């Protein structure tokens, strides 16, 4: 494994992503809630650039007591990465596909040392 420089600590603002290319791999590095997450920039569906899509909170149905549909809402507690090619969604914290937990993005370890952020490739 090799540590690859991403940015200086604090340079990547909360809610931002940076694509890093090293060793023939593109990796999306996210900062959210003060934590860092890194995933291979390759959607499990058709190889699209998953990390180049948008990041949005999970969309949930709002159901009434009688199970009637009362609209939708964003769940800010679960952020999703959305692939720009076909809209496949992945949970930011785990890389799991939102509709099938058996499918996931390849995850990389992120470390902070000496005032900089690195990913292990």
Which residue's structure tokens are 């890093």? 20
Distance between CA atoms of 42 and 90, rounded to whole angstroms? 11
Q: What is the pLDDT of residues 68-101, one digit of tens each?
A: 999 999 999 999 999 999 999 999 999 999 999 9
Predicted pLDDT at 57: 96
* 16: Cα within 13 Å, side-chain hemisphere: 9
The pLDDT-based confidence of 64 (bands split at 50, 70, 90) is very high
CATH topology of domain 3-120: Rieske Iron-sulfur Protein (2.102.10)
Q: What does the mean pLDDT of the chain come to?
A: 96
* Distances, alpha carbon 7 to alpha carbons 45, 98, 104, 118, in Å: 29, 29, 25, 7
Mean pLDDT of 4-18: 95
The pLDDT-based confidence of 2 (bands split at 50, 70, 90) is very high
All structural domains of the chain with their residue ranges = 3-120
Predicted pLDDT at 1: 83
Res 48 pLDDT > 90? yes
């Amino acid at each position: 494994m090799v540590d690859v420089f991403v940015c200086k600590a604090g340079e990547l603002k909360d809610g931002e992503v940076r694509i890093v290319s090293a060793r023939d791999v593109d990796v999306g590095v996210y900062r959210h809630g003060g934590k860092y997450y890194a995933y291979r920039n390759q959607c499990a569906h058709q190889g699209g650039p998953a990390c180049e899509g948008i990041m949005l909170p999970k969309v949930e149905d709002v159901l009434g007591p009688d199970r009637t549909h009362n609209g939708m809402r964003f769940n800010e507690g679960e952020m999703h990465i959305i692939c720009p090619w076909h809209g496949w969604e992945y949970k930011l914290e785990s890389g799991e596909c939102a509709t099938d937990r058996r499918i996931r993005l390849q995850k990389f370890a992120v470390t902070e040392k000496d005032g900089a952020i690195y990913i292990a490739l």
